[in-house]
């Protein structure tokens, strides 16, 4: 649509062109400062987007832990209440062989019971002694109070049909004959119940089940390490690589990596577990480029070749750039682990897993394989989602009954290239490092 | 470095090279300040707009495809920024219906060949904002009615009637000042 011509507009245009403009030189500093602030805000946004999910997950598991603690207190009380019954009689060496069929508790062994969970209980005298019998038909799992434990001073029948003559507490002989089996072995059902109930006596160094009790495990770890990569050429698109690419991009070297893991493991038995979680990964590479772009490259797709035309001297450009390329990822792993004891103090674990990582951000300047221009992440067409695998193996040092410190050697690697094959160059990054962590085990539902 | 080709500067800016950004700023700052001054009417507001506009340019320059010159593209960015700024203050543009009679009255008036441009611009600044902006866009920055309508969120007819009304008002003011016969 042609614009109407108006002499009035011409006058205005000429007036605007001749308008006095105040100096703008001082404005550049403010603009440069604004650009820096914007860059910082972007970084904060990235970190915030990592911290927020971690905070939410952390809060969720904190709540879970709080709930689990309450449950474990109730269970623990119940065990304390029935310990004397189930473990009676204890021997002075701490073993409970006497509960085996055919064994007898003697008076000399009873004080151990007094030192147990019923130290202050008036029900102490109701604990079966040598010469007493308990009614097998009572299901101890239904007993809610020690007062309900059916103990008779005189006779406790073993079954409804055949009452057996017993003796009172006062009639217990000082040295009961051990061969006289008068303490009945609990029924099979009761045995099962006993086996299922955890006891405080369990102190074996099996990180999977003993000292570190529970079947769910929450862990947090930080893994400083080194980032590196395997570079190769795409079979299909290698023709797109500039003949000067290797010379131009030669100065790329390994730099740091680190990852922060928040994970949850579920034990499948004592030794095996599966786990997942979320991890933030930052990896960096050092680049030091110094080269000339003195050819114009034309891509001939039909012939699958590049045409090089020398640039006029005035158009030749020197590229000089040194810096760190940084990449940030969020990983969601799926891990399978095995855990075992080395000795009474230290455990050992090994994990193997797959992961899916999402490229959150990349502060990158790299040589484009075809044009040799310095290019950012968008121009390099870095893949946003990258599958990978990881392996770690290390030791566990328990700090108490539930928490422990972990030190692992860690190796993670992408399964594929994070640069699209269409660029001719394939890059498969990998990290290796030391994983330092803390984990806490708690009971699951 | 003042005559560095735009293509080189654009490449540098797209790679976040600070030196290229500064060169691009130095090359186009006066022209953009001109726009800022015409749309904001206030030097401090214009300086703020200049800073915001260049930050916007440097963060969005990756989307510059080269379909037009960088100067034209930047002009659009700055006009957009100015309109957004005015919108934030005014919230809503008043719709004025297109009226042929207004346009014809405006076209009938004669403009003297010699007139003080600065005085005309100063008079332009005294116009109500919705007229001043359209006159700036159409007469000085070269936008057509469709582009103006899109930017301001009004109809093309509204843009035309506003332009006509702006001309009439400007001429009336110039007559009051004795600049027009």
pLDDT in tens, A68-89: 444 443 344 333 333 333 334 4
- Comma-separated ranges of CATH 1.10.10.10 domains in chain B: 100-176
Q: Which residue has the higher pLDDT, A109 or A429?
A: A429
Residue of B nearest to A321 (CA): B17
Spatial contact of A90 and A113, defined as CB atoms under 8 Å apart: yes
Q: Looking at A124-133, A239-248, B20-29, B86-95, which range is the least confident one?
A: A124-133
pLDDT (0 to 100) of residue A303 = 78
The token pair at A345 is 């103090």
Q: Which residues of chain A have a CB within 8 Å of the CB of B150?
A: none
pLDDT (0 to 100) of residue B90 = 62
CA atoms of A33 and A431, how far apart (whole Å)? 35
Pairing verdict, β A272-293 and A317-341: antiparallel
Q: Which residue has the higher pLDDT, B101 or B71?
A: B71
Q: What secondary structure letter does DSSP report for B113? A: S
- B92 to chain A nearest CA, in Å? 26
Residue of A nearest to B141 (CA): A13
Query: Domain A204-442 is of which CATH architecture?
Result: Beta Barrel (2.40)
pLDDT (0 to 100) of residue A185 = 42
**Does residue A19 belong to the interface with chain B, where contact is any CB pair within 8 Å?**
yes
Residue of A nearest to B12 (CA): A374
**Does residue A415 belong to the interface with chain B, where contact is any CB pair within 8 Å?**
no
For B28-77, the DSSP string reads HHHHHHHHHHHHHSSHHHHHHHHHHHHHHHHHHGGG--SSS-HHHHHHHH
pLDDT (0 to 100) of residue A276 = 92
**Does residue B139 belong to the interface with chain A, where contact is any CB pair within 8 Å?**
yes
Say whether pLDDT at B133 is over 70: yes
Task: Calculate the average pLDDT of chain B.
Answer: 81
Residue of B nearest to A27 (CA): B51
Task: Calculate the average pLDDT of chain A.
Answer: 71
Beta-carbon contacts below 8 Å between A and B:
99
| Residue in B58, B139, B142 nearest the CB of A35 | B58
**Does residue B67 belong to the interface with chain A, where contact is any CB pair within 8 Å?**
no
| Residue in A8, A27, A38 nearest the CB of B111 | A8
Does ipTM top 0.85? Answer: no
CA atoms of A275 and A113, how far apart (whole Å)? 42
Q: Which residues of chain A have a CB within 8 Å of the CB of B38?
A: 16, 19
**Does residue A376 belong to the interface with chain B, where contact is any CB pair within 8 Å?**
yes
**Does residue A180 belong to the interface with chain B, where contact is any CB pair within 8 Å?**
no
**Does residue A199 belong to the interface with chain B, where contact is any CB pair within 8 Å?**
no
| Residue in A8, A14, A24 nearest the CB of B33 | A24
| Residue in B30, B120, B146 nearest the CB of A24 | B30
Say whether pLDDT at A227 is over 80: yes
Say whether pLDDT at A170 is over 80: no
CA atoms of A277 and A261, how far apart (whole Å)? 7
CA atoms of A259 and A279, how far apart (whole Å)? 7
CA atoms of B117 and B179, how far apart (whole Å)? 11
| Residue in A11, A18, A31 nearest the CB of B51 | A31
Q: What secondary structure letter does DSSP report for B98? A: -
Tell me the pTM: 0.41
The answer to whether the CB atoms of A22 and B115 lie below 8 A apart is no
Q: To the nearest 5 percent, what fractions of chain B are helix, strand and coil?
A: 75, 0, 25
- Comma-separated ranges of CATH 1.10.1740.10 domains in chain B: 6-90
**Does residue A2 belong to the interface with chain B, where contact is any CB pair within 8 Å?**
no
Residue of B nearest to A3 (CA): B144
Residue of B nearest to A316 (CA): B8
Q: What secondary structure letter does DSSP report for B156? A: H
The neighbouring-strand residues paired with A290 are A320
- A308 to chain B nearest CA, in Å? 20
The answer to whether the CB atoms of B144 and A21 lie below 8 A apart is no
**Does residue A28 belong to the interface with chain B, where contact is any CB pair within 8 Å?**
yes
**Does residue B145 belong to the interface with chain A, where contact is any CB pair within 8 Å?**
yes
Query: Domain B100-176 is of which CATH architecture?
Result: Orthogonal Bundle (1.10)
**Does residue B103 belong to the interface with chain A, where contact is any CB pair within 8 Å?**
no
The answer to whether the CB atoms of B59 and A38 lie below 8 A apart is yes
Mean pLDDT of A272-283: 92
Mean pLDDT of A52-58: 71
Q: Which residue has the higher pLDDT, A49 or A362?
A: A362
Q: Which residues of chain B have a CB within 8 Å of the CB of A15?
A: 117-118, 120-121
Residues A407-437 pLDDT 10s: 999 999 999 888 887 778 888 899 899 999 9
| Residue in A12, A20, A28 nearest the CB of B25 | A28
**Domains of chain A, residue spans:** 74-196, 204-442
- A419 to chain B nearest CA, in Å? 19
Q: Which residue has the higher pLDDT, A281 or A175?
A: A281
**Does residue B146 belong to the interface with chain A, where contact is any CB pair within 8 Å?**
yes
Q: Looking at A153-162, A248-257, B50-59, B110-119, which range is the least confident one?
A: A153-162
CA atoms of A83 and A286, how far apart (whole Å)? 63
pLDDT (0 to 100) of residue A262 = 92
Say whether pLDDT at B53 is over 90: yes
Residues A311-347 pLDDT 10s: 888 888 888 888 899 999 999 999 999 998 888 788 8
Distance of CA A198 to the CA centre of its chain: 26
**Does residue A36 belong to the interface with chain B, where contact is any CB pair within 8 Å?**
no
CATH topology classification for B6-90: Rna Polymerase Sigma Factor; Chain: A (1.10.1740)
pLDDT (0 to 100) of residue B54 = 94
| Residue in A3, A24, A317 nearest the CB of B50 | A24
| Residue in A6, A8, A21 nearest the CB of B34 | A21
pLDDT (0 to 100) of residue A213 = 59
Q: Which residues of chain A have a CB within 8 Å of the CB of B43?
A: 22
Residues A126-145 pLDDT 10s: 444 444 444 444 444 444 44
SS (HEC) of chain A: CCCCCCHHHHHHHHHHHCCCCCCCCCHHHHHHHHHHHHHHHHHHHHHHHHHHHHHHHHHHHHHHHHHHHHHHHHHHHHHHHHHHHHHCCCCCCCCCHHHCCCCCCCHHHHHHHHCCCCCCCHHHHHCCCCCCCCCCCCCHHHCCCHHHCCCCCCCCCCCCCCCCCCCCHHHCCCCCCCCCCCCCCCCHHHHHHHHHCCCCCCCCCCCCCCCCCCCEEEEEEEEEEEEEEEEEECCCCHHHCCCCHHHHCCCEEEEEEEEEEEEEEEEECCCEEEEEEEEEEEEEEEEEEEEEECEEEEEECCCCEEEEEECCHHHCEEEEEEEEEEEEEEEEEEEEEEEEECCCCCEEEEEEEEEEEEEEEEECCEECCCCCCEECHHHHCECCEEEEEEEEEEEEEECCCCEEEEEEEEEEEECCCCECHHHCEEEEEEEEEEEEEEEEEECCC
The answer to whether the CB atoms of B167 and A8 lie below 8 A apart is yes
Residues A354-396 pLDDT 10s: 999 999 888 888 888 888 888 888 788 888 899 999 999 999 9
Q: Which residues of chain A have a CB within 8 Å of the CB of B9?
A: none
Q: Which residues of chain B have a CB within 8 Å of the CB of A3?
A: 138, 142, 144
Residue of B nearest to A8 (CA): B111
């Amino acid at each position: 649509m042609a614009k109407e011509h108006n002499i009035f507009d011409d006058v205005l245009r000429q007036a605007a062109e001749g308008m006095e403009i105040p100096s703008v030189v001082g404005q550049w500093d403010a603009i440069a400062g604004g650009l820096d602030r914007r860059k910082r805000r972007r970084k904060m946004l990235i970190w915030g987007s990592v911290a927020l999910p971690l905070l939410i997950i952390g809060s969720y598991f904190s709540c879970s832990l709080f709930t689990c603690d309450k449950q474990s207190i109730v269970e623990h009380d119940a065990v304390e209440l029935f310990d004397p019954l189930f473990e009676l009689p204890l021997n002075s060496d701490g073993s409970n062989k006497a509960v085996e069929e055919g064994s007898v508790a003697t008076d000399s062994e009873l004080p151990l019971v007094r030192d147990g969970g019923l130290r202050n209980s008036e029900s102490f005298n109701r604990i079966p002694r040598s010469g007493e019998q308990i009614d097998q038909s009572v299901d101890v799992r239904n007993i809610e109070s020690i007062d309900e434990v059916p103990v008779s001073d005189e006779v406790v029948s073993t079954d409804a049909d055949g009452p057996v003559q017993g003796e009172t507490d006062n009639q217990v002989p000082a040295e009961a004959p051990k061969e006289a089996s008068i303490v009945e072995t609990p029924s099979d059902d009761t045995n099962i119940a006993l086996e299922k109930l955890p006891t405080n006596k369990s102190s074996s160094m099996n990180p999977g089940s003993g000292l570190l009790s529970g079947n769910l495990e929450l862990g947090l770890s930080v893994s400083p390490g080194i980032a590196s990569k395997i570079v190769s050429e795409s079979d299909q698109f290698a023709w797109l690589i500039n003949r000067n690419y290797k010379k131009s991009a030669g100065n790329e070297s390994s730099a740091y990596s680190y990852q922060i893991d928040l994970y949850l493991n579920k034990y499948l038995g004592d030794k095996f577990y599966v786990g997942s979680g979320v991890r933030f990964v930052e990896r960096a590479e050092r680049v030091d480029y110094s080269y000339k772009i003195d050819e114009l490259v034309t891509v001939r797709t039909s012939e699958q070749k590049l045409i090089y035309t020398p640039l006029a001297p005035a158009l030749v450009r020197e590229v000089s750039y040194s810096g760190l390329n940084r990449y940030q990822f969020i990983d969601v792993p799926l891990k399978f682990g095995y855990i075992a004891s080395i000795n009474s103090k230290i455990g050992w674990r090994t994990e193997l897993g797959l992961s899916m990582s999402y490229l959150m951000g990349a502060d990158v300047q790299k040589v484009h394989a075809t044009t040799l221009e310095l290019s950012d992440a968008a121009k390099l067409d870095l893949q946003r989602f990258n599958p990978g695998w990881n392996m770690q193996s290390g030791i566990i040092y328990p700090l108490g009954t539930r928490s422990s410190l972990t030190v692992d050697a860690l190796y993670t690697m992408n399964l594929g290239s994070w640069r699209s094959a269409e660029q001719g160059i394939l890059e498969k990054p990998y990290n290796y490092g030391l994983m330092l962590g803390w984990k806490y085990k708690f009971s699951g539902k | 470095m003042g005559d560095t080709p735009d293509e080189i500067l654009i490449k540098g800016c797209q790679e976040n090279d600070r030196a290229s950004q500064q060169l691009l700023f130095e090359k186009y700052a006066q022209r953009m300040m001109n726009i800022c001054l015409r749309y904001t009417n206030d030097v401090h507001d214009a300086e703020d707009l200049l800073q915001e506009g260049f930050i916007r340019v440097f963060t969005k320059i990756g989307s510059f495809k080269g379909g037009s010159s960088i100067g034209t593209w930047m002009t659009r960015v700055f006009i957009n920024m100015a309109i957004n700024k005015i919108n934030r203050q005014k919230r809503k543009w008043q719709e004025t219906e297109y009226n042929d009679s207004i346009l014809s009255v405006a076209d009938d008036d004669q403009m003297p060949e010699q007139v003080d441009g600065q005085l005309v611009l100063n008079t332009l600044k005294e116009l109500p904002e919705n007229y001043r902006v359209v006159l700036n866009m159409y007469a000085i920055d070269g936008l057509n009615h469709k582009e103006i309508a899109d930017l301001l969120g009004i109809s093309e007819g509204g843009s035309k009637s506003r332009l006509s009304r702006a001309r009439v008002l400007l001429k009336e003011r110039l007559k009051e000042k004795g600049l027009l016969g």
